[in-house]
Chain A
Amino acid sequence: MADILLTVEDLCVRFPTDRGVVQAVNGVNFQLEQGQTLGIVGESGSGKSVTAKTLMNLLPRSADVEGKVTFDGRDVRELARKKEDHFWGVQMTMVFQDPMTSLNPVKRCGEQIAETLRYHLGHNKKKAIAEATSLMEQVGIPEPTKRVRQYPHELSGGLRQRVVIAMALACQPRLLIADEPTTAVDVTVQKLLLDLLDDLRRDRGMSMILITHDLGVARGRCDEVAVMYAGRIVERAETETLFSDSRHPYTNALLRSIPRIDQPSHTRLDPIPGRPPELIDPPEQCAYAPRCRYAQTDCLDSIPEVGGVAGQHIYACHHPANTERGEAALAANLAAGETATGLKIHAITEGVH
């Protein structure tokens, strides 16, 4: 096994609000090897961005964080307490979703990249600008000497995101966290940006966490994928295993609910009923149970432990899909016409409208 770069253990993040305490992240565990890409997929509110922000030490002060984050043997939360400024932005950096809001609109692009170099590496202005120009070239920005003097509004969305990537790479990070980096751009630009991130990661031996709601992006670009639901990782496996042999009913249902390009037009979709749960005072049960076709009474009694083979394919479910136990549960539910939570279900009919 290659060197472990990042270890996250029992991470919990809570936010006090007027309506109660929001359990945004609820016991997240994962490891990331040097040079690997981990995809985190999930719907909005599943806790994927909060996890990323916790790693980046970007949470508001009101957040209550528990758990341990270790980066190359160093305790990351200890670094935060000591206000160790030259860790974030150097060893671990982040690319955000919307390049227009993550760039300063009244500062030239080159200066914004140079600022990182001057602050963290102590470059003088001239050297920093020269380095910024070279970084812009590396991320595929045409005419870097001209672009370096332009403002963000003068660039297209794709080029702006390249500037953000250049900033993130300026100090040769070992881990890049990309939070929905291509959600705000068109599909042709998305392909070019993801190709760029892939190449850069490979050339620099960098590790990457790619957060996305797009299962296709996760499938094409990650070594391993973790699926989050209601603040927990419900399933994690090597990418191909996850997509071809998923165990958690949520992963399964998610894959079935998206329209696919290889299906004929008007193929009936198989949506997930209901919607994600509230994260304030969640009951002590499987959070997915109310929407799950496999749900049995034990799903309402306890939160399922993480099972499977550690380090290879893990899932938190009492009745995993594609196993004897799970299929028996589904068959029983289908025969009864409803699940233990009272969800009405029927056999999936493959077909066209």
Chain B
Amino acid sequence: MAGTGLAPLRDRPDVLLSVEELTVEFPVGRHDVVHAVSGISFDVAEGETLGIVGESGCGKSTVARSIIRLNKIRSGKVLFEGIDLASLKGEELRRHRPNLQMIFQDPISSLNPRRKVRDVISEGVKIWAGSTGAWSEGRIDELMHAVGVDPKYGDRRPHEFSGGQCQRIGIARALAMDPKVLICDEPVSALDVSVQAQVLNLLEDMKQRYGLTLLFISHDLSVVKNVSDRIIVMYLGKACEIGSADELYENPRHPYTRALLASIPEPAPTVDVSEGNIDGELPSPITPPNGCRFNTRCPYADEVCFEVEPQMEAVGDDHYIACHHQVAVSISS
């Protein structure tokens, strides 16, 4: 695994956001660094939903947070409409941020408990529009209505709402800025199954209504398949497979993707359940393995995997993997 290389980047005029060789490292202790994200490249076209899946610690949230510069970027580019967000600072960066908004996993703790939800939703607009005029009040009502929260409850505080409703309020807050890209970090993981479907449908409706481009992060493979056009599978800070949602589940090529799909309680029919038995632990991101980062757990690993890092390569139409053994895997399937 391991996927470096710019191969997955598409040369299309409608690419809205393009991440090139993004590397994020966090210092720990006196000398060590956590290699959270190591040289990942992908792009998102306008109106597309890109899903990011992987186990905890694979760097999927770090990628999302780096795009809106919530953490420091070690190197690499984040091109949004041709402008490299990674190189911006201060006021310039601030000006671009309304275009990219985020919704978070825990709907209740991501809202300020002391504020009325109407104020939570309108705060960004007030800062940017510079006034609290009637226009913004009308717009807040419209947004609350759009996400399915009755505007007459606008004076209540977050604790008076259920988790599902708080997530709707979080979505309204993000939409208030009229963003182009909505980054959703595990938006339904904390919700009950019956409410999860409501929020997923809402996101889909909002995407159509406001012409959004979505980045959708989740560890739930069925949820990601449902919402995404394209999916990127991550492992230990690297991309291992990128492809269209239907193609990736029908024809998974990377051993790690196959292991993931074989592990879900009702496994995908395209993989053998035994492929889900990947032993061992996730290696430490402080000292990631040389060569392919998946080599410690991969059933196909051989000498070359321990020495040479595989590059992202096309294996089909808009389908890329980083693995030395793609051929062997596709024959066994």
For A187, the chain B residues whose CB sits under 8 A away are: 55, 219, 221, 260, 263-264
Q: Is A266 an interface residue (CB 8 A)?
A: yes
For A261, the chain B residues whose CB sits under 8 A away are: 221-222, 225, 249, 261, 264, 266-268
Residue contact B164 to A269, C-beta cutoff 8 Å: no
How distant is B163 from chain A, measured CB to nearest CB, in Å?
9
Q: Is A124 an interface residue (CB 8 A)?
A: no
Within the complex, which residue of B162, B222, B281, B282 is in contact with A260, where a contact is CB–CB below 8 Å?
B222
How distant is A243 from chain B, measured CB to nearest CB, in Å?
10
Residue contact B195 to A191, C-beta cutoff 8 Å: no
At the interface, is chain B mostly helix, strand, loop or mixed?
A: helix
Q: Is B276 an interface residue (CB 8 A)?
A: yes
Residue contact B227 to A257, C-beta cutoff 8 Å: no
For A217, the chain B residues whose CB sits under 8 A away are: 265
Within the complex, which residue of A220, A254, A272, A273 is in contact with B266, where a contact is CB–CB below 8 Å?
A220
For A156, the chain B residues whose CB sits under 8 A away are: 281-282
For B226, the chain A residues whose CB sits under 8 A away are: 259, 263, 265-267, 269
Q: Render B161-184 as a binary contact track against A, CB cut-off 8 A, 1 for contact.
A: 010100000000000000000000
How distant is B291 from chain A, measured CB to nearest CB, in Å?
21
Q: Is B105 an interface residue (CB 8 A)?
A: no
Q: Is B141 an interface residue (CB 8 A)?
A: no
For A43, the chain B residues whose CB sits under 8 A away are: 192-194
Residue contact B219 to A186, C-beta cutoff 8 Å: yes
How distant is A264 from chain B, measured CB to nearest CB, in Å?
6
| Chain B residue at minimum C-beta to C-beta distance from A184 | B56
How distant is A185 from chain B, measured CB to nearest CB, in Å?
9
How distant is A278 from chain B, measured CB to nearest CB, in Å?
11
For A188, the chain B residues whose CB sits under 8 A away are: 55, 259-260, 263, 276, 278
For A268, the chain B residues whose CB sits under 8 A away are: 201, 204
Residue contact B263 to A258, C-beta cutoff 8 Å: no
How distant is A146 from chain B, measured CB to nearest CB, in Å?
14
Within the complex, which residue of A44, A192, A271 is in contact with B201, where a contact is CB–CB below 8 Å?
A271
Known: A191-B277, A260-B222, A275-B162. A253 touches B193 (CB 8 A): no
At the interface, is chain A mostly helix, strand, loop or mixed?
A: loop
Residue contact B265 to A257, C-beta cutoff 8 Å: no
Chain B interface, number of residues (Cβ within 8 angstroms):
43
Residue contact A269 to B162, C-beta cutoff 8 Å: no
| Chain A residue at minimum C-beta to C-beta distance from B273 | A191
For A263, the chain B residues whose CB sits under 8 A away are: 225-226
Residue contact A275 to B265, C-beta cutoff 8 Å: no
Q: Is B198 an interface residue (CB 8 A)?
A: yes
For B269, the chain A residues whose CB sits under 8 A away are: 262
Q: Cα distance A74–B275 when bound, in Å?
A: 45
Q: Cα distance A186–B218 when bound, in Å?
A: 11
Q: Render B223-262 as a binary contact track against A, CB cut-off 8 A, 1 for contact.
A: 1011111000000000000000110010000000001111
Q: Is B200 an interface residue (CB 8 A)?
A: yes
Q: Is B196 an interface residue (CB 8 A)?
A: yes
Q: Is A126 an interface residue (CB 8 A)?
A: no
Known: A187-B263, A254-B194, A264-B246. A259 touches B223 (CB 8 A): yes
Residue contact B164 to A272, C-beta cutoff 8 Å: no
Residue contact B281 to A272, C-beta cutoff 8 Å: no
Q: Cα distance A15–B229 when bound, in Å?
A: 47
Q: Is A283 an interface residue (CB 8 A)?
A: no
How distant is B322 from chain A, measured CB to nearest CB, in Å?
19
Q: Is B197 an interface residue (CB 8 A)?
A: yes
Q: Render B196-215 as a binary contact track against A, CB cut-off 8 A, 1 for contact.
A: 11101100100010000000
Residue contact A186 to B56, C-beta cutoff 8 Å: yes
How distant is A270 from chain B, measured CB to nearest CB, in Å?
7
Determine, out of A17-25, A208-216, A298-306, the stretch whose residues face the partner at the interface: A208-216
Q: Cα distance A190–B268 when bound, in Å?
A: 16
Q: Is A308 an interface residue (CB 8 A)?
A: no
Q: Cα distance A258–B195 when bound, in Å?
A: 10
Residue contact B192 to A271, C-beta cutoff 8 Å: no
Q: Is A61 an interface residue (CB 8 A)?
A: no
For A213, the chain B residues whose CB sits under 8 A away are: 192-193
For B208, the chain A residues whose CB sits under 8 A away are: 353
Q: Cα distance A313–B193 when bound, in Å?
A: 24
Q: Is A53 an interface residue (CB 8 A)?
A: no
How distant is B122 from chain A, measured CB to nearest CB, in Å?
25
For A215, the chain B residues whose CB sits under 8 A away are: 193
Q: Is A219 an interface residue (CB 8 A)?
A: yes
Q: Cα distance A259–B268 when bound, in Å?
A: 13
Q: Cα distance A158–B265 when bound, in Å?
A: 17
Residue contact A257 to B196, C-beta cutoff 8 Å: yes
For B266, the chain A residues whose CB sits under 8 A away are: 216, 219-220, 260-261
Q: Cα distance A260–B201 when bound, in Å?
A: 14
How distant is A309 from chain B, measured CB to nearest CB, in Å?
27
| Chain A residue at minimum C-beta to C-beta distance from B54 | A186
Residue contact B276 to A259, C-beta cutoff 8 Å: no
Q: Cα distance A332–B289 when bound, in Å?
A: 63
| Chain B residue at minimum C-beta to C-beta distance from A158 | B281
| Chain B residue at minimum C-beta to C-beta distance from A218 | B265
Q: In this complex, which of A186, A214, A253 has the most chain B Cβ atoms within 10 angstroms of its Cβ?
A: A186
**19 A-B pairs, CB-CB below 8 angstroms?**
A43-B193, A156-B282, A187-B55, A187-B221, A187-B264, A188-B263, A188-B278, A191-B264, A195-B277, A213-B193, A217-B265, A219-B265, A261-B267, A264-B246, A266-B229, A269-B226, A271-B198, A271-B201, A353-B204
Q: A219-B266, A254-B194, A276-B194 are in contact. List 20 more A-B contacts (CB 8 A).
A: A43-B192, A43-B193, A187-B264, A192-B277, A213-B193, A216-B264, A216-B265, A257-B194, A257-B196, A258-B193, A258-B196, A258-B197, A265-B225, A265-B228, A265-B229, A268-B201, A268-B204, A271-B194, A272-B198, A353-B204
Q: Which 8 residue pairs are nearest across A and B when measured between Cβ atoms?
A: A216-B265, A271-B197, A259-B226, A265-B245, A272-B194, A186-B55, A257-B197, A269-B197
- Listed in ascending order, the chain B residues whose CB lies under 8 Å from chain A are 55-56, 162, 164, 192-198, 200-201, 204, 208, 219, 221-223, 225-229, 245-246, 249, 259-269, 276-278, 281-282
